[in-house]
Chain A
Amino acid sequence: MATKTRTVEVALGTAGVDSDGRAVRTPMTVTENGSVTTLEPPALGAAPELAGEHMLINIGPQHPATHGVLRLVLELDGETVVRCIPHIGYLHCGFEKIGEYRQYNQVIPWTDREDYLNSIGNNVAFSIGAERLFGVEVPPRCTVLRVIAMELSRIISHLVWLGTTCIDLGAFTPFLWSFQERENVYNLLESWVGARLTTSATRVGGMAADIPEGWTDQLRHFIRTFPKTVDECDRMLTKNGIWIGRTTALGVMSANEAINYGLSGPMLRASGVAYDVRKDFPYLDYETYDFDVPVGSNGDVYDRFLVRVEELRQSTRILAQAIDRLPDGPVNSSDHRVILPPKSRAMSDMESMIHHFKQVMEGPRPPIGEVYVPVESPKGEKGYYFVSDGTAKPVRWRIRPPSYVNLSAISKMVEGHLLSDVIAINASIDIVMGEIDR
């Protein structure tokens, strides 16, 4: 019995989908005993009606990729986000309310806990604002130490951002590298102020402590070794095909949109707006330091990454200049309306004793007035707005939280993107829920 030979050829690989979203099937040929038959593709029925079926996905509040207790309710069409409703407030502690019941120096520990990756930077920002309200000037050594504090905390914050964003997008190694360096900065802070995370390092009119002996050498060592880590992370990610694929053209904000949505910090600069509070509304003599403001061009997640990595290098530059110019002298203002006089004088000098008594019993009292002093925090423009009625406690203490305003644009940024891109976009905002909910 002769066996029939039968060959079936099927074009491999999908040719894609047609304009209605149906799979395009290529014709098959069947060769049977020499005769070739071409089979037409089976007629497709009506396209399934999927357009009306939207799915709701709830991300958070307890979800590692939301960087805290953020809850996003996403309405999905297939895998595309149609609508995003963010919910916040799970960490609301009423910092602003509590601040109205505390003296100025007593508020400083609360600033640690607000943007907890930038605690020493918040301390400095608070003190600059309060000092303007009190009309107090600080000595040059204090100013330079505060610049060092702010740049160290910018490095910490950006490193945490880099590490956690890498984890979110599936890269594990840069996370370990950046957290190792962060540990080095925390060691520096620990030997300076005695605390790693909740520093409370400043006072109105000065610092809680001067740097210990040999501290600048440790900092110099850090400045020498740190750029190597940045370069390693840079090499690992910047030209990495997976990284580029997961970050480019996501969450694009044009320059005008970014300004209108009130974005600030690396988010705004990635969109091409060179607004940096350190350059445009300087404080702490930042205009005398030589550093560049990195600016992106596309305003997508990849540009935000590039801007932050470059800011790590610029912060290192500022640190190097700050150590070189660090002057000798006192760290505290000599104005004894805000800074306690030395104990020896308080016991021997009448006026010092009065200052001591007044400060301890009533607390320093600013004149009636209000100030808003913005600083460039790692997240963007952070400012403390104080209103004083002449008593020792502020009438209103307002935090202008940069990541709160940045996060408010998330609906605009994620809509139209895929579900998996929501994670990348959310990571690129660099949110800290402690600051958003306060």
Chain B
Amino acid sequence: MLPGSANPGAPAPATPRNLPQRGGEPNPSAAAIAAKFGKSFVRSEVIWGDTNVYIQASAVSEIIRWLHDDATQQYDYLSDVTAVEFRDAEQPLEVVWHLRSLPFRRFLRVKVSLDKRAPLAVDSVWPIYKSANWLERECFDMFGITFTGHPDLRRILMWESYREGYPLRKDFPLRGRFSRAEQLRQALSITTEGRYSMEELSVAQAFEDLPEDMRRRLAGGERTGE
């Protein structure tokens, strides 16, 4: 549990200095992945002192599970899940996992390249790390990547009825896809139920219990008190 406990002989951590852009000491986990998952391992590189490991999309769950469980790896902490889309439209979209091993004080960046012409889908790591819950939801919300196996893959920062697409994709213009007039029109036509999803709250029957006039107003999308 104590950071560094699995590797007591290691020198005390220090602020890195004069890191080379490429090359340097690779994280030993990269070679371990290459040896154990030969076919699913694509390549690895060291960049500004951090190790990137590229793996096949089909092996994400398996390899990250192994990195989490294996006693020689112990990547117990998931810092971040995110994605990168490059300006060059030909380049594949990359999904990035930032893994951290507290017992070994190691940091590993695992990457998967997704072809943009195919459906964007990759395994969820939620069964391994609960922290992936919102991180994957955000990645889905912003990039449209489906994380298969995620228990509750909904939009998180944008609202449920958001129709303009995925904001962090490069084909999404900075000011939004729709004109201001259309954005305003959509904002004004939002129904109460769109915002306060009755189904999600499993109180759909509560709607039936409301007084008749209230039901009529809600169903008609009428806004009150605004």
- Which residues of A pack against B, CB within 8 Å? 56, 73, 75, 85, 88-89, 92, 94, 96-98, 101, 132-133, 135, 137, 255-257, 259-263, 272-275, 279-287, 367, 369-372, 374, 381, 383, 385, 387, 389, 391, 395-396, 398, 400, 404-405, 407-409, 412, 437-438
Tell me whether B21 is interfacial, beta carbon within 8 Å.
yes
Determine the distance from Cα of A379 to Cα of B96 in the docked complex, in whole angstroms.
Answer: 23
Nearest B residue to A407, CB-CB: B134
What is the predominant secondary structure among interface residues of chain A facing chain B?
Answer: mixed
Determine the distance from Cα of A321 to Cα of B109 in the docked complex, in whole angstroms.
Answer: 35
A87 vs chain B, min Cβ distance (A): 9
What bracket does the count of chain B residues touching chain A fall in?
35 or more
23 contacts between A and B (CB under 8 A): A56-B203, A73-B201, A92-B157, A96-B142, A97-B167, A97-B174, A98-B174, A137-B17, A261-B130, A262-B79, A262-B132, A273-B1, A273-B102, A280-B13, A283-B15, A284-B15, A370-B109, A383-B98, A385-B80, A385-B96, A389-B88, A398-B82, A408-B135
Nearest A residue to B20, CB-CB: A135
Q: Mark B139-165, 1 if CB is under 8 A from A, else 0.
A: 000100000000000011111000000
Residues in A whose Cβ lies below 8 Å from that of B17: 137
Q: Which of B18, B85, B201 contacts A137 (CB 8 A)?
A: B18
Q: Which of A85, A369, A374, A396 contacts B200 (CB 8 A)?
A: A85
Determine the distance from Cα of A73 to Cα of B200 in the docked complex, in whole angstroms.
Answer: 10
In the complex, given contacts A369-B47, A396-B85, what are 17 additional A-B residue pairs having Cβ atoms less than 8 angstroms apart? A85-B201, A89-B158, A101-B174, A137-B18, A260-B76, A260-B131, A275-B3, A279-B13, A280-B4, A283-B15, A369-B21, A372-B98, A372-B107, A389-B87, A398-B82, A408-B133, A408-B134
The 10 A-B residue pairs with the shortest CB-CB distance, nearest first, are: A262-B131, A408-B134, A89-B157, A92-B157, A396-B84, A280-B3, A400-B80, A261-B130, A282-B15, A371-B48
Residues in B whose Cβ lies below 8 Å from that of A280: 3-4, 13, 102, 105
Nearest A residue to B174, CB-CB: A101
Tell me whether B66 is interfacial, beta carbon within 8 Å.
no
Determine the distance from Cα of A437 to Cα of B155 in the docked complex, in whole angstroms.
Answer: 12
Determine the distance from Cα of A396 to Cα of B82 in the docked complex, in whole angstroms.
Answer: 10
Residues in A whose Cβ lies below 8 Å from that of B105: 280-281
Residues in A whose Cβ lies below 8 Å from that of B1: 255-256, 259, 272-273
